[in-house]
Chains A and B, each alone.
Chain A
Amino acid sequence: MSAPLPPSQFALRSRLLHWLMAAMILTMLFIGIAMVASLAEYHRLVAIHRPLGIAVLVLAIIRLINRKFTTLPPFPPTMSASERKIATVSEYMLYALMLGQPLVGWAMLSAGHYPVVLFGAVYLPPILPANPILYAVLRETHTILAFLFFALILAHISAVLFHTWMIRDRLLDRMALWPTRRIK
């Protein structure tokens, strides 16, 4: 115990952000897929989707800044070099989607000449000029990114659970909301 040990868990701030955003993003993905397939609930769901999406964007920026200023726990030794590479790449893809997907949504509404209303009298300015082709491309992109996002999240969950339950290396402990024992 003489040598300084790296943290065994992510910082509490990081863990809170992770789980808060996990819940928000999964909710967003389900609202998104449900609203485009619903007549009766379309309006109610869209009214949640827009502000929640912007909240994800704001939290993603906070999260990236937070990440810059915290020490990350190392990967457990049970992860091979290639697994580490995959984990790192998919992590960056998730960050890119957390920022990109709300921005595409905002840009898409702007290009479609829609007002970007969050709630009540609160709204955002357009970030693109109204343009039909731009709208069509961004609308399609929004769908593709949503599926990619969902697939990545499923892969992320599968990988962490596989490590935690099959390899039993307690990988999930790094992100647990409660303090955990250091892996001996």
Chain B
Amino acid sequence: MVALRSRASITKNNLKISKKIYVAAHSRSPAGDDAGSGLTPIVESVGQNGLIGARQGGHTGVMSQPAWALRLGVIAALVGSLAILFGYAGGWLSPHRLTPARFADGFEQVSGQHPGFRRNHSKGVGVAGYFESNGRGAEFSKARVFQQGRVPILGRFSLGGGMPNVADAPQTVRGFGICFQLSGAHEWRTAMVNFPVFPFRTPQAFYENLLASAPDPATGKPDPQKMRAFLDAHPESAAALKIIAARKIDSGFENSEFNSLNTFRFTDEKGKETWARWSVVPANPEGTNAQPPSQTDQNYLFDSLIAAVHRQPLQWRLVLTIGEPGDPTDDATLPWPPDRKSVEVGMLVVDHIESDDTSPARDLNFDPLILPDGISPSDDPLLSARSAVYSQSFTRREGESKSPSPVSREETDQ
């Protein structure tokens, strides 16, 4: 043991010392105490003969200095390539790759820093209620949510864009996120908007448009030339924006229709698969307010929604649209033909409204790929990207200190 302790250690950290030569006499003592075997250090300068000895046992003998260096090089190369591969997988070697983090950076760049808020659809209000399923969805999906009965829901209405203090405006895209609160693999979350189609086919196009639509510091408005260049490069977006511009703009959240836009794969009990999109259609398309809300108020859309929920529970029909062979499943810029079969599968009832400041919906990620067993994603490239960027936004905001929501408790409690 003394001999062992006195030896300079042969470690990777100490290559120079390890070049001293150690020769094992006979390594194992009769008692099997290999730790105490008599190793005798022979201190010898490597430079003198260019040979490096190895510990005896199996392969004995000495290694030439080049062979020694070669072996060391192989180890360094192996471990180094693992590290480089790791860095490559993490995107560090490709600074121009569009990653979820860079996507979220893009929102922050365009909308500014608003700690604690969602990077997109920042302005919103939480709601709760239930979904009364009529059982007809079970024909297409085995998801528990479609079995007849009542499922509690948590939701959030929002306006598109990364600025929580933006003034409500009729044209701004309206969002409705819903979480059907079933346990584990039966939970379903969806984030819908009031557009008939989505303006971008790919996450890259979305990102390009995001940057192109950033306000020009000189004018405070987007540079029309950049927007034109974007639309020239993306005719599918130009076509989709025409459809979006032609839509009827409903007076408020409470009478807006919201659409899944992306396509999903529904699987029934027997394994039969169906492509489907869905919409929530207001039961009262005229709205429940006595008169259309005044558009002068900063929060007029939210205030109108709050008033409507306080007056009576709001209802939307959940409607599935069933795809047919040939319908686009990977392109949310394309509408499906209007004659596609639609099936009403139940009624959504919203009977409670709460400011983001207190609603549990604030700390819920309405990730469109939190799908129940019985619904799965299509090959639409937007879906995985949405999931990734929502997650990035969620992680960022959960760690930040919260600022009061512009749609305050005083407003929602009125």
Task: Decide: A114 and B35 in contact? CB cutoff 8 A.
Answer: no
Total residues of chain B contacting the partner, CB 8 A: 73
B377: chain A residues within 8 A (beta carbon): 43
The residues in A between 21 and 40 inclusive whose CB is less than 8 angstroms from any CB of B are 29-30, 33-40
Chain B's nearest CB lies how many Å from the CB of A44?
7
The residues in B between 325 and 372 inclusive whose CB is less than 8 angstroms from any CB of A are 360, 363-365, 367, 369-370
B34 within 8 A of A: yes
A91 within 8 A of B: no
A75 within 8 A of B: yes
Among B12, B34, B68, point to the contact of A77 (Cβ < 8 A): B34
A65 within 8 A of B: no
Chain B's nearest CB lies how many Å from the CB of A152?
12
Chain B's nearest CB lies how many Å from the CB of A61?
22
Which of B57, B363, B389 is packed against the most chain A CB atoms within 10 Å?
B57
Total residues of chain A contacting the partner, CB 8 A: 65
**A165 and B71 in contact, given A39-B389, A83-B9, A113-B364 (Cβ under 8 angstroms):** yes
Task: Decide: A39 and B99 in contact? CB cutoff 8 A.
Answer: yes
Task: Decide: A42 and B57 in contact? CB cutoff 8 A.
Answer: no
Binds A, one of B119-127, B237-245, B393-401, B405-413: B393-401
Against A, the Cβ 8 Å flags (1 = close, 0 = not) of B11-36 are 11000001000101001101110110
Number of A-B contacts (CB under 8 A): 191
Task: Decide: A161 and B78 in contact? CB cutoff 8 A.
Answer: yes
**A157 and B79 in contact, given A37-B99, A39-B98, A115-B187 (Cβ under 8 angstroms):** yes
Chain B's nearest CB lies how many Å from the CB of A37?
4
B75 within 8 A of A: yes
Could you show 6 A-B contacts with beta carbons less than 8 Å apart?
A40-B381, A42-B391, A43-B384, A77-B28, A78-B39, A113-B360
Residue positions of B touching A, CB distance < 8 A: 4-5, 7, 9-12, 18, 22, 24, 27-28, 30-32, 34-35, 37, 39, 54-55, 57-59, 63, 68, 71-72, 74-75, 78-79, 82-83, 85-86, 89-91, 97-101, 103, 183-187, 203, 360, 363-365, 367, 369-370, 373, 377, 381, 383-385, 387-389, 391-392, 394-395, 398-399
Residue positions of A touching B, CB distance < 8 A: 3-6, 29-30, 33-44, 46, 74-78, 80-83, 112-117, 120-125, 130, 132-133, 135-137, 139-140, 150, 154, 157-159, 161-163, 165-170, 181, 183-184
Additional pairs, 4, CB under 8 Å, beyond known A80-B11, A158-B12, A170-B59: A77-B27, A112-B398, A159-B11, A167-B10
